[in-house]
Structure 1
């Protein structure tokens, strides 16, 4: 059984409704952490709203596969309209491009976070887990070192690493009490559980094929059943900022 749990809601700032859903999942449920997509039009709204919830850790969800880049000249990752190329439009389903462009784009996303929030993100992860692709790992590691931040699934890209949570996810048909409690019982120490709770608006419905299940996630994460399980098993709810002393 784990003794510490980070529940991280991805896609903060993607739409207004999904952002509000994540905040509700924190205020009324077990979400402790979220990661913001800085190239989305609701990123500023998300970070400003998060200031009302000081116990919510807010990291950065580095983006490379949806929306538009923040920098000029990111041609190797964009289509003729200037939008990021979606994974399905790459020959192997995975983004490829110039790593110098990638570094500048992801650094710009981090800097925009700091400019709006007034502080660094709590940690780094990425939309569609693109920071874990072998040809992107050096950029992810360089930025983590530059900003002194932990990375989601760090053990996959750095052989020697300090204390960092193991990673698991709750998704689609696995959004249920039996599955999640089995996950919590199958690990020890600290665990990060990835989720995508949301309310649904037209923008989210149009942008993501994973839309309606997000409302089911929100209902589950705020349920008395899962909150009671956490309490009865003395699982401490934390976010990545609580790991910083161990991360050094």
Structure 2
């Protein structure tokens, strides 16, 4: 079993940036994905460049929180409020109009363009609240990634389910990613799922959300320690 440990939400806040920066410096995680539209995005870039891990930065596409970076989406009142802040939730809209699709594509482009303008290579792409695993968003994301030569995209979160529709949907997502020439891991998991894969010849991506709690670095979602969760050598998206 090989594990990529990726910290989501770089740029979200000063506290999150500090925790992720410490994890990268100490080698506790493989990579992190940065939210271009958050107030502390520039500080995150500065930390990455200062501590020389800018090659391990991906894009954390954000369509469900924060303020939009592009212009066309401001005219889409189902997607943003009057001040340009995102108001959609994952799985809340099952269809987008042509103007909404164009606006979402423009916004994804704007976020990636901002990261590229800061000198980041962008090793891989995922999204806030996993919004890119909605099929229409995934299609738009793939188009923008091809434009910028980005070749790695996160899969939907793995979990065991007897629901045949969920299984078919996730298979379709994985097939679409591979069919369009992108590389990815075998499974995307959280810490609770690691035991299912012990002893298996697979590559996993483990999602964490670091925050500093006293003298410990914990996951803000699970409150569990991040230290010591890797099984030996960390794997990187560039090794896929």
Equivalent residue, structure 2, for 1:155: 174
The structure-2 alpha-carbon separation of the partners of 1:40 and 1:34, relative to structure 1 and needing over 3 Å to count, comes to same
The CA deviation at 1:94 is: 4.3
More displaced stretch, 52-61 vs 119-128: 52-61
Distance of 1:95 and 1:79 partners within structure 2: 19
Please state how far the C-alpha of 1:56 moved relative to its aligned partner. Answer: 6.4
Aligned-partner Cα distance in 2 for 1:9–1:212: 9
Moved more, 155-164 or 50-59: 155-164
1:78 aligns with 80
- Distance in 1 (CA, whole Å) between partners of 2:62 and 2:183 is 26
* Distance across 1 between alignment mates of 2:109 and 2:87: 19
SS in 2 for 1:193: strand
Question: How many residues end up aligned between the 2 structures?
Answer: 210
- Report what 1:130 is aligned to: 131
Give a deviation string over 1:85-117, Cα, whole Å, max 9, x none: 1418xxx5348641110111111101100111x
Other structure's SS at 1:61 match: strand
Does 2:29 match 1:28? no
Candidates 7, 13, 16, aligned match of 1:15: 13
Q: Which runs of 5+ in 1 are unaligned?
A: 201-210, 244-248
Equivalent residues of 1:169, 1:195 under 8 A apart: no
Match of 1:64 in 2: 63
SS in 2 for 1:199: strand
Q: Answer yes or no: is the 8 Å Cα contact 1:122–1:240 preserved in 2.
A: yes
Distance in 1, matches of 2:94 and 2:109, equals 18
8 A contact 2:37–2:111 mirrored in 1: yes
* 1:47 CA displacement: 1.2
Q: Tell me how far 1:73 sits from its aligned partner.
A: 2.7
Change (3 A) 1:167 1:104: same
Quick one: structure 1 residues 54 and 44, their matched pair in 2 at CA, closer, same or farther if it must change by over 3 Å?
same
Partners of 1:188 and 1:44 in 2: how far apart? Answer: 38
Matched, 1:221 2:226: yes
Change (3 A) 1:8 1:105: same
Deviations 1:47-94 (A, max 9, x none): 110121438611000010101100123132111232101418xxx534
Q: Give the match's secondary structure for 2:3.
A: strand
Q: Could you tell me how far 1:132 is from its partner in structure 2? A: 1.6
Q: Tell me which of 229, 234, 239 is aligned to 1:237.
A: 234
Q: Secondary structure at the match of 1:87?
A: coil
- Give ranges in structure 2 of 5+ residues lacking alignment: 156-172
Aligned match of 2:146: 145
TM-score, normalized by length of structure 2?
0.77
Could you say which structure has the higher helix fraction?
Answer: 1
Given the alignment, which residue of 184, 191, 195 partners 1:164? Answer: 184
In the alignment, the residues of structure 2 paired with residue 14 and residue 105 of structure 1 have an alpha-carbon distance, to the nearest angstrom, of 18
SS of alignment partner, residue 223 of structure 2: helix
CA-based RMSD of the aligned residues comes to: 2.6
